[in-house]
C-alpha cells in the first residue's frame, strides 16, 4: 500500500533505475547515493553489497560525474549489527569501498545508526580516515552526547553530516522535544562551523536552514566551506532555490529493494512526517 508513496522518495529498485535520477540532479546539485540495506549477517550479501558499490563507482566514473556523487554507507550492511566481533570484517569491507571511491575521484560518508553503535561507528571512521581522509561521518543532534562528539572532532578536518536523527535510542540518551533537538543542532553546528571540519547541514527545517545561512555569514564561512543536504523528493523547490543562490546542495538519494525500514524510520519518530511527505516538504 505504501509503494506508490515511497516511489516519490526512493530512486528505484536498482542502480539502472537510480542512475537517470542521479544524472538529472547533478546538473545543479550534488548527490549522496545510498544502496538500501542494513543489519546484514550473511557474508555473501556483504560481498554483493561491496560489488554493487564498486559497480556504482565504475558507472559514475564512466559518466564523468563521480566528483559530484559521494556514497553513503551503513556499516551494518557490511557485517552484523555492528558488534566488536564483526569489527575487522566490517572495516575491511568499508576499506574496499573507500578505496574504490578514491580511485573514482569521490569519497564515502559513513551513516550513523541506532542505539549502541555510535562509539563503534566513530572507531571505524577513525580507522578509515587513516588511508582515506575524505571519509565523512554522521552525527545526530537528538543525542545528548553529540555536542561533546563535535568538540572532540573539531580539529580533525573531518567531513561531518549533522542531522536531527531518526534512529531509536534509550530515552535518557536523547532530547525529548523538537525545540530541544533544534537547540542541540544549533549548538553542534556552531562548533563545527568554527572549527576546521567540513559541515554538511542535513535538515529540511526552515529555521535551521536560516540559522545555518546566518551562522555562515557571521563567521565568514564561504559557500564552499559547507553544504546543505536534503532527501530526494523532499522540498525539491527549496533545494533548487538554494542551489540557484550559489549554495552547495547535496541530495540524499536512496535506491534498492530494502526500502521499508528506511521509509518507516522516517515516520516512526514523528508520525506527522507523513503529512510533510505527502506535501513533498519534509519534516520540520
Does the annotation flag 164 for ligand binding?
yes
Does the annotation flag 204 for ligand binding?
yes
Does the annotation flag 68 for ligand binding?
no
Does the annotation flag 265 for ligand binding?
yes
- Classify 1 as helix, strand or coil: coil
Q: Which own/partner pairs from 5-9 qualify as long-range (CB within 8 Å, at least 24 positions apart)?
A: 5/277, 5/278, 6/259, 6/263, 8/233, 8/277, 8/280, 9/231, 9/232, 9/233, 9/234, 9/254, 9/263, 9/277
Does the annotation flag 166 for ligand binding?
yes
Does the annotation flag 169 for ligand binding?
no
**Cβ atoms < 10 Å from Cβ of 245:** 10
Does the annotation flag 266 for ligand binding?
yes
Q: Which of 29, 34, 68, 111 is catalytic?
A: 111
Does the annotation flag 64 for ligand binding?
no
Active site residue 161: yes
Does the annotation flag 279 for ligand binding?
no
**209 close to 201: Cβ distance less than 8 angstroms:** yes
C-alpha distances in angstroms, 86 versus 76, 100, 155? Answer: 10, 22, 29
Q: Which of 68, 159, 161, 235 is catalytic?
A: 161
- Classify 10 as helix, strand or coil: coil
Dist. CA 120–CA 140, nearest whole Å: 15
Active site residue 111: yes
Which residues belong to the active site? Answer: 111, 161
Residues making up the annotated binding site for FAD are 112, 140, 164-166, 203-204
Would you list which residues are annotated within the binding site? 74, 112, 140, 164-166, 203-204, 265-266
Q: Which residues are annotated as a binding site for substrate?
A: 74, 265-266
Amino acid at each position: 500500500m505504501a509503494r506508490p508513496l515511497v516511489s516519490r522518495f526512493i530512486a528505484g529498485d536498482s542502480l539502472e533505475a537510480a542512475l537517470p535520477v542521479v544524472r538529472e540532479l547533478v546538473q545543479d546539485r550534488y548527490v549522496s547515493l545510498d544502496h538500501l540495506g542494513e543489519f546484514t549477517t550473511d557474508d555473501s550479501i556483504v560481498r554483493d553489497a561491496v560489488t554493487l558499490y564498486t559497480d556504482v563507482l565504475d558507472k559514475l566514473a564512466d559518466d564523468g560525474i563521480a566528483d559530484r556523487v559521494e556514497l553513503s554507507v551503513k556499516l551494518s550492511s557490511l557485517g552484523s549489527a555492528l558488534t566488536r566481533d564483526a569489527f575487522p570484517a566490517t572495516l575491511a569491507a568499508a576499506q574496499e569501498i573507500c578505496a574504490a571511491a578514491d580511485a573514482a575521484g569521490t569519497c564515502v560518508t559513513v551513516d550513523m545508526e541506532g542505539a549502541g553503535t555510535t562509539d563503534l561507528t566513530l572507531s571505524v571512521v577513525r580507522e578509515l580516515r587513516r588511508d582515506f581522509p575524505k571519509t565523512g561521518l554522521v552525527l545526530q543532534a537528538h543525542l545528548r552526547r553529540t555536542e561533546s562528539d563535535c568538540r572532540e572532532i573539531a580539529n580533525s578536518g573531518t567531513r561531518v553530516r549533522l542531522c536531527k536523527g531518526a534512529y531509536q535510542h534509550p530515552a535518557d540518551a536523547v532530547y525529548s522535544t523538537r525545540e530541544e533537538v533544534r537547540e542541540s543542532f544549533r549548538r553542534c553546528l556552531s562548533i563545527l562551523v568554527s572549527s576546521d571540519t567540513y559541515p554538511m547541514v542535513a535538515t529540511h527545517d526552515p529555521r535551521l536552514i536560516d540559522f545555518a545561512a546566518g551562522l555562515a555569514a557571521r563567521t565568514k564561512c564561504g559557500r564552499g566551506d559547507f553544504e546543505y543536504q536534503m532527501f530526494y523528493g523532499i522540498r525539491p523547490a527549496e533545494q533548487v532555490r538554494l542551489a540557484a543562490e550559489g549554495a552547495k546542495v547535496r541530495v540524499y538519494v536512496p535506491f534498492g529493494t530494502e526500502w521499508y525500514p528506511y521509509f518507516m524510520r522516517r515516520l516512526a519518530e514523528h508520525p506527522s512526517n507523513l503529512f510533510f511527505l505527502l506535501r513533498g516538504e519534509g519534516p520540520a
